[in-house]
Amino acid sequence: LREEAVFMIGKALVSHLSAIGDLSREDADALRGISGEVRTLGKGREIFRKGDCPEVSVVVLEGLLARYETRADGGRQILSFYFPTDVPSLETLHIDYLDDDLGALVDSTVGLIRHKVLFGLMDEQPNLLHLIWRMTLVQGAICRQWMMRNSSLPAHARMAHLFCEIFNRAKAMGRSTGNSCLLPITQEILGNALGLSAVHVNRTLQVLRDSGLVEMKGSRLTIVDYDQLAEMAMFDPRYLHNRALAQEGPLVRPRRRGS
């Protein structure tokens, strides 16, 4: 089982990188040859803390991680979500120390790859270096959208935008089922990401639900009316720089659900 899990690290990287760029056969083989430690993380556990200087990078295999900053008053701001195949903490390859915490929002399993291994890989396959660099840049693009969203959209559009992003990311990684995907977070956590109070998240969510735009129950997010949701959020998936989403047209609207 654990043996098998090790292969998951390479697989996750292959699937993530080929979604944002061209992966040659050799590149893919090299990635699949990666070995690393597989670790399970209990809900709420942190894997890196502000100030850490890790020698490994993390690949999410299952579950959900988040990067967040805890404020003095106890509140926290979530800076990004990491779903399976995402690679948080890539910046530790080139940066002296971490600015914020990285933790599991639910029970999760992650792969740890030593930087040494990654550097070796990138030395031999320059194309992989470009793709990994690109991955960090895509994360930057996502971060800018979060900032735009949290700074200048009203609550309902803010929430709609995040839902669109999450669903699109899930879909792009083959992790959506029809018009729904996993999203195992509480309303409070949603608030931490959106910069809203838990109470207001609750009320805003009700509006979206009652307008027939989304459902959110259990740990599953269901997009009932994507077009309207995307319009409300002014959502344009191109910032995700994901090939599976690239054709979604120059304006806000994707073709048809379930295409």
Q: Which entry of a second copy, DNA, none binds 187, CB below 5 to 8 A by partner kind?
A: DNA
Over the window 174 to 213, marking each residue x when it contacts a second copy by CB under 8 A and - when it does not, the resulting string is --------------------xx------------------
For residues 219, 9, 244, 225, the Cα torsion angle rounded to the nearest 10 degrees is 0
Three-state DSSP state, 24: coil
CB of 224 to DNA, least distance (A): 15
252 contacts a second copy (rule: CB under 8 A): yes
Nearer to DNA, 37 or 107 (CB): 107
Q: How many CA atoms lie within 13 A of 36 on its CB side?
A: 30
Q: Which amino acid is at 80?
A: S
76 contacts DNA (rule: CB under 7 A): no
136 contacts DNA (rule: CB under 7 A): no
Q: Which helix H or strand E contains 142, and what residues bound it?
A: helix 126-152
Q: How many CA atoms lie within 13 A of 31 on its CB side?
A: 25
Q: Which helix H or strand E contains 56, and what residues bound it?
A: strand 56-62
Query: Of the candidates 29, 43, 95, 186, which one interacts with a second copy according to CB under 8 A?
Result: 95
Over the window 194 to 223, marking each residue x when it contacts DNA by CB under 7 A and - when it does not, the resulting string is -xxxxxx-xxxxx-----------------
Which residues, 6+ apart, have CB-to-CB distance to 134 below 8 Å? 20, 21, 241
Contact between residue 142 and residue 239 where contact means Cβ atoms under 8 Å apart: yes
The residues that touch a second copy, with contacts defined as CB under 8 A, are 37, 48-56, 67, 69, 71-72, 75, 77, 79-80, 91, 93-97, 99-100, 112, 114, 130, 133-134, 136-141, 143-148, 150-152, 194-195, 234, 238-239, 241, 252-259
